[in-house]
């Protein structure tokens, strides 16, 4: 396999973390527990927090919202908001908290956030996004990136997309993460908005051709590492959401393929073993094991025993008052299953 060429972006002013492969921000999914787990599988993938609104950061439980463990780095904070002053303050807090990047959400189609001028509806207000980005850049030295759609209903022409990117670029943003489908702001749920409008990768490729100096990251529907490497012939990075959650061991190839790092990786069983002390510490602090293990249900995706593993951690776990015992038994069971599978492969 030839190493894909790295598009050069001499114009990038604040390069920040390497964005060749990132895991998308996902509410309720990419919390600190998921990120700890994902980091056991890939040392290099850039991870994002769930979206946090500027209001929550400024008036809520800040230490929880901005808290993470050092091992999760490189880690970017995603903000939702459009109040310029609040965005500036939050960007400053992101820098103080040690994040590698601060990202603005211009892709979420939820009604709840639209009412507060947060998310995809901001694609209809490029000047406001530009002002917010400029304020963020002025208040911190972190790279500021924008995650957006290729359009929204009523504003979905390529010209309007270029107008959006052009105005935000003028404000100083040089990294754009593009979810390659429009968002429909009325009539579709956020979930439907991740599947129904068709993916249009060619639009993102065209954007890179028209703005070659920008770092353009592709998002939406990516599940296959070979296909991602093909996109990287043209684009600067790929961002993977649902596949990285439902099939997390996909990321075991990321360091070698995208970062040319040949460091030995952990097997699935070693990942489970490495996660155990983290679970123990969480339980000792009064936490519930399920809050961590709910994120690992897909670890054996595609292998014999995957359903058994999933069932133990999604159903049986609620029937026991000794969750760690269940975990240890499961590690033993899955080890035996993996070994017998290796044997049958060798005999075949």
Ligand X SMILES: Cc1cc2nc3c(=O)[nH]c(=O)nc-3n(C[C@H](O)[C@H](O)[C@H](O)COP(=O)(O)O)c2cc1C
Q: Which stretch binds ligand X (CB under 6 A): 27-35, 206-214, 267-275, 304-312?
A: 27-35
The yes or no reply on residue 27 touching ligand X (CB under 6 A) is yes
Of these residues, 90, 108, 121, 173, which one is catalytic? 108
Q: Which of 229, 258, 254, 256 is nearest to 244 (CA)?
A: 254
The yes or no reply on residue 39 touching ligand X (CB under 6 A) is no
d(CA 13, CA 126): 21
The residue whose two tokens read 């990786």 is: 265
Backbone angles phi, psi at 255, to 5 degrees: -65, -45
Query: Which of 200, 242, 256, 282 is the binder for ligand X (CB under 6 A)?
Result: 242
Shortest distance (Å) from residue 192 CB to ligand X? 11
d(CA 6, CA 233): 8
Per-residue binding letters, 113-132, with ligand X (x by CB under 6 A): --------------------
Determine whether 229 is exposed, middle or buried from the number of CB atoms within 10 Å of its CB (0-12, 13-18, 19+): middle
d(CA 104, CA 122): 10
The yes or no reply on residue 108 touching ligand X (CB under 6 A) is yes
Q: Is 26 annotated as a binding residue?
A: yes
Cα angle vertex 220, ends 290, 205, to 5°?
A: 155
Cα angle vertex 43, ends 220, 1, to 5°?
A: 70
Backbone angles phi, psi at 12, to 5 degrees: -65, 125
Query: Which of 109, 197, 220, 248 is the binder for ligand X (CB under 6 A)?
Result: 220
Shortest distance (Å) from residue 253 CB to ligand X? 16
Q: Which stretch binds ligand X (CB under 6 A): 21-29, 59-67, 205-213, 316-324?
A: 21-29
Q: Is 123 annotated as a binding residue?
A: no
Q: Is 289 annotated as a binding residue?
A: no
Shortest distance (Å) from residue 51 CB to ligand X? 3
d(CA 196, CA 154): 16
Q: Is 242 annotated as a binding residue?
A: yes
Q: Which residue is nearest to ligand X (CB)?
A: 241
d(CA 289, CA 144): 35
Q: Catalytic residue at 343? A: no
Pick out residues in 165-184 that bind ligand X (CB under 6 A): 179
Q: Is 17 annotated as a binding residue?
A: no
Q: Is 16 annotated as a binding residue?
A: no
Binding residues for ligand X, rule: CB under 6 A, are 24-29, 50-51, 78, 105, 107-108, 147, 179, 194, 219-222, 240-243
By annotation, the residues acting in catalysis are 108
């Amino acid at each position: 396999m030839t190493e894909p060429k790295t598009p050069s972006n001499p114009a990038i002013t604040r390069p920040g973390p390497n964005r060749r492969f990132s895991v998308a921000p996902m509410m309720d999914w990419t919390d600190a527990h998921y990120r700890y787990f994902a980091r056991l599988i890939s040392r290099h993938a850039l991870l994002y927090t769930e979206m946090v609104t500027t209001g929550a950061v400024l008036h809520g439980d800040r230490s929880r919202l901005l808290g993470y463990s050092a091992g999760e780095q490189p880690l970017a904070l995603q903000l939702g908001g459009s109040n310029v002053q609040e965005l500036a303050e939050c960007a400053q807090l992101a820098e103080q908290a040690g994040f590698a990047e601060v990202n603005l959400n211009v892709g979420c189609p939820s009604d709840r956030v639209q009412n507060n001028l947060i998310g995809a509806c901001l694609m209809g207000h490029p000047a406001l996004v530009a002002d917010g980005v400029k304020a963020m850049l002025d208040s911190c030295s972190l790279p500021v990136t924008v995650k957006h759609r290729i359009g929204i209903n009523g504003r979905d022409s390529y010209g309007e997309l270029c107008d959006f990117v052009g105005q935000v670029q003028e404000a100083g943003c040089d990294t754009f993460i593009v979810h390659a489908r429009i968002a429909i702001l009325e009539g579709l749920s956020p979930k439907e908005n991740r599947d129904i409008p068709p993916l249009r990768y060619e639009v993102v490729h065209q954007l890179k051709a028209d703005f070659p100096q920008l770092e353009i990251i592709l998002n939406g529907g990516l599940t296959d590492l070979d296909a991602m490497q093909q996109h990287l012939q043209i684009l600067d990075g790929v961002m993977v959401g649902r596949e990285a959650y439902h099939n997390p061991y996909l990321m075991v190839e990321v360091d070698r393929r995208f970062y040319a790092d040949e460091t030995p990786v952990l097997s699935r069983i070693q990942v489970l073993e490495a996660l155990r002390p983290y679970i123990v510490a969480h339980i000792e602090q009064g936490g519930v094991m399920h809050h961590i293990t709910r994120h690992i249900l897909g670890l054996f995706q595609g292998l014999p025993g995957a359903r058994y593993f999933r069932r133990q951690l999604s159903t049986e776990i609620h029937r026991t008052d000794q969750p760690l015992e269940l975990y240890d038994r499961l590690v033993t069971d899955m080890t035996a299953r993996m070994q017998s599978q290796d044997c049958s492969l060798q005999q075949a």
